[in-house]
Amino acid sequence: MPERDLDVAEMPSLTPVSTMEPVDLVRADGGVPLTGKKARQGKLGVIGWLSISWLALVTLAAILAPILPIDDPNQVTASIARQPPGTDGHIFGGDGLGRDLFSRIIWGGRSSLLIGTLSVLLGLVLGGLLGLVAGYFRGRADGVLTGGFDVLLSFPQLILALTLVTVFASGEGVTATRRTVVLILALGVVSIPVLGRITRANTLTWTQREFVLAARALGAKQREIMFREVLPNVLPAMFSIALLGVAVVIVAEGGLSLLGVGTQLPRPSWGNIIAEGRSELRDSPHIVIIPTIIIFLTVFALNYLGDVVRARFDVRESAL
Amino acid sequence: MIRSRRRHVVHTAADYHQSGSRLLEVDDLKTHFVTPRGRVRAVDGVSITLDRGRTLGLVGESGCGKSVLSRSIMGLLPSTADRTGSITFAGERLDELGPEALRSYWGTQMSMVFQDPMTSLNPVMKIGRQITESLEVHTDLDRGQARETALALLRSVHIPEPERRLKQYPHELSGGMRQRVVIAVALACGPQLLFADEPTTALDVTVQAQILDLLNEQQRERHMAVVLVSHDLGVVAGRTHDIAVMYAGQIVEQAPTRTLFAEVRMPYTEALLRSVPRLENASHTRLAVIGGRPPDLIDPPKGCRFAARCPYVQDRCREEQPPLIEAETPGHLFRCWYPVGTDAGKEALERNLAAELPQAAAAVTGELAVEAS
């Protein structure tokens, strides 16, 4: 592997490395836009706490769905079909077929959140690793990996995921579980280049820092420097983008559902509840509006917390 | 320190060169960077020697190759660098070693203190961890022993409450404290050679002296050789055995510290000396500066590299590069056709004054009328 480049820093008559402020490439890259004053200061504030509470609530409900005292999400009760919230004690009412909407949303959260977190985790591990290698070693490794990211990014993301799901999990006899696994992998592949590029950009700036050179001067191995010195500094940015990524993937799964290749019915997800309900939009808008509000709140909470994480670690940086 | 410097002055040329404790010998080292604009000759034919336990000051203005020289010796260069020449460390040819073999020298044999303690410590790692890190790489110490060693190191660099510091992060410490930590980290594995690359430039003036004293003290206690890189002659003056003055990638004057100050030969060194502010000057005295800037290292001038800014410059200087020659005092080397303090130099300056050469007038009056081109 090529030796790590330090070129600019060593050039005579250029600014010495220590006076160069690291460029905040996350935002230069079109990453996290900061939303509010509190978030900018890295403090949670009221909205932050509300966001955490909301996410905790949704996650807990999704995990505990099988033991919660709610209806079976697939049990059809003809009398509540298309009925508005509150009918017969069904707080969110019934969907087009007469299934309890509250129960479907909780079970749907199970699918949506599972797909969101696992696919971003996949992207985080693979994309993060590749981005770290590209940003740390630069040179040829960087060229190949960045080229790969660019190729992946140049496909329209939804079409790419759609193609993967269509090829590997559609047609007769595909189980809902297989569909979910393929969805996770497809959306994971789509998130690899996004997380990879963010990680690479951050790794580039941190690798320029003198402590990396200092670690080398003390005889540390490249691998040790990469994982022990650079990675912990890059993690906050990766984490904040990952939170954003979960939100994007939840929405993307909804998009795939509208195209008919989301979570396999009758297993619910927030996306396919909306997809199914869109034919009833004129007479029973609540079937679409309620899951949309749920998705909106979840996406907002994830974005907001992503900002807080990012800003929080920026503060530590500026204190230096 | 003072005694050893005195002893050094009475050395004859013969025993100066036959010293048995030679630690570092660099011969005709050239480090060029390949850039789209061309080859940057950052270090261009430097030869230095350093004995065990001695301190060499490396002085010059920004961009003259001081830092690149020390990094070249250690082998900490980017892949765009092209290094030639020989580097012998404790009898081993470092320039012939591969990266893996070289790595075993870093930390244990030679180590480096960087300029800016703000960036040379990892912001997300506790102080204790940063010190024990290299101990774990190079020694068999277990965690407890490594922690004890780290404590002892923090004490030896005079950090108060070392137990508490171990658990703190760099941003919780002041700049001076952080530089002490950086020094402790560099000293952890007991190197024989320490490069201090402008160790005080980023620090408060009030802290600078403390850090330099600390380096001196550690150097004495450990009988370690130190290369002290600085742009400030005042910093290296009282703290080094020898001084090498660099200009545009070359050594232009090199001598035992006392000799250098007493018998300056190279006009660049003289100009550097003049640009150090002095306490005995009246207040509001204008600080003498060196007009112009160092030459482009991609296409250095064919004659003397300082010619364009030199008050003593003659036609010969612009045509022929002066070789590094020895002065009357053994061990005193310089590069000049019309050296300061000689008749040839005096005549050259008078001719330039008569011709109203701006930098010559500036050298006499201390006022810089026009920027030398």
Domain boundaries, chain B: 264-279+287-365
Average pLDDT over residues A168-194: 88
Q: Which of A160-174, A238-252, B85-99 has the lowest mean pLDDT?
A: A160-174
Chain A residues touching B122 at Cβ < 8 A: 211, 215, 229, 232-233
Q: In whole angstroms, how far apart are CA A202 and each of A42, A245, B134, B317?
A: 19, 17, 25, 49
For chain B, say whether A299 makes contact (Cβ under 8 Å).
no
Average pLDDT over residues A108-132: 94
Contact B80 A2 (CB under 8 A): no
Contact A211 B122 (CB under 8 A): yes
Q: In whole angstroms, how far apart are CA A154 and each of A131, A147, A253, B110, B243?
A: 17, 10, 20, 48, 58
Give the whole-angstrom CA distance, residue A196 versus residue A191.
Answer: 8
ipTM: 0.78
Length reported for chain B: 373
Q: Is B40 left (phi over 0), alpha (psi -120 to 50) or beta?
A: beta
Contact A220 B134 (CB under 8 A): yes
By CA distance, what is B133's nearest residue in A? A220
Contact A10 B119 (CB under 8 A): no
By CA distance, what is A13's nearest residue in B? B63
For chain A, say whether B33 makes contact (Cβ under 8 Å).
yes
CATH architecture of A40-78+86-318: Orthogonal Bundle (1.10)
Chain B residues touching A214 at Cβ < 8 A: 112, 114, 120-121, 182, 185-186
φ and ψ of B225, to 5 deg: -85, 140
pLDDT beyond 90 at B371: no
Dihedral sign, Cα of residue B51, residue B55, residue B61, residue B63: positive
Residue type present at position A248: V
Contact A320 B118 (CB under 8 A): yes
By CA distance, what is B108's nearest residue in A? A218
By CA distance, what is B182's nearest residue in A? A214
Q: What pLDDT score was predicted for residue B2? A: 40
The model's pLDDT over B306-356, given as tens digits with 9 standing for 90+, comes to 998 888 999 999 998 999 988 888 889 999 999 988 888 888 998 888 888
Question: What is the distance in angstroms between the Cα of A308 and the nearest Cα belonging to chain B?
Answer: 18
pLDDT beyond 90 at A293: yes
Scanning B79-108 for CB atoms below 8 A from A yields 79-81, 99, 103-108
The model's pLDDT over A38-64, given as tens digits with 9 standing for 90+, comes to 555 667 788 989 999 999 999 999 999
Give the whole-angstrom CA distance, residue B349 versus residue A177.
Answer: 91
For chain B, say whether A224 makes contact (Cβ under 8 Å).
yes
Of the candidates A7, A210, A219, the beta carbon closest to that of B106 is on A219
Contact B134 A218 (CB under 8 A): yes
Give the whole-angstrom CA distance, residue B14 versus residue B331.
Answer: 10
Q: If you average pLDDT over every residue of chain B, what do you get? A: 85
Which of B40, B71, B120 to mutate against chain A (most A CBs within 10 Å)? Answer: B120
Helix (H, G, I), strand (E, B) or coil at B29: strand
pLDDT beyond 50 at B5: no
Of the candidates A210, A219, A229, the beta carbon closest to that of B114 is on A210
Contact B297 A13 (CB under 8 A): yes
Question: What is the distance in angstroms between the Cα of B174 and the nearest Cα belonging to chain A?
Answer: 10
Q: What pLDDT score was predicted for residue A13? A: 36
Of the candidates B63, B79, B112, the beta carbon closest to that of A139 is on B79
Residue keyed to tokens 């004659």: B303
% of chain A with per-residue pLDDT over 90: 38
Question: What is the distance in angstroms between the Cα of B292 and the nearest Cα belonging to chain A?
Answer: 13
Of the candidates B42, B78, B138, the beta carbon closest to that of A4 is on B78
By CA distance, what is B102's nearest residue in A? A219
Look up residue B187 and give its DSSP letter.
H
Residue keyed to tokens 């480096």: B112
Chain A residues touching B100 at Cβ < 8 A: none
Tokens of B81: 């660098």
For chain B, say whether A319 makes contact (Cβ under 8 Å).
yes
Q: What pLDDT score was predicted for residue A278? A: 86
Cis peptide, bond prior to residue B117, ω within 30 of zero: no
Contact B111 A317 (CB under 8 A): no
pLDDT beyond 90 at A27: no
- CA torsion angle A66 A71 A72 A74 (round to 10): -140
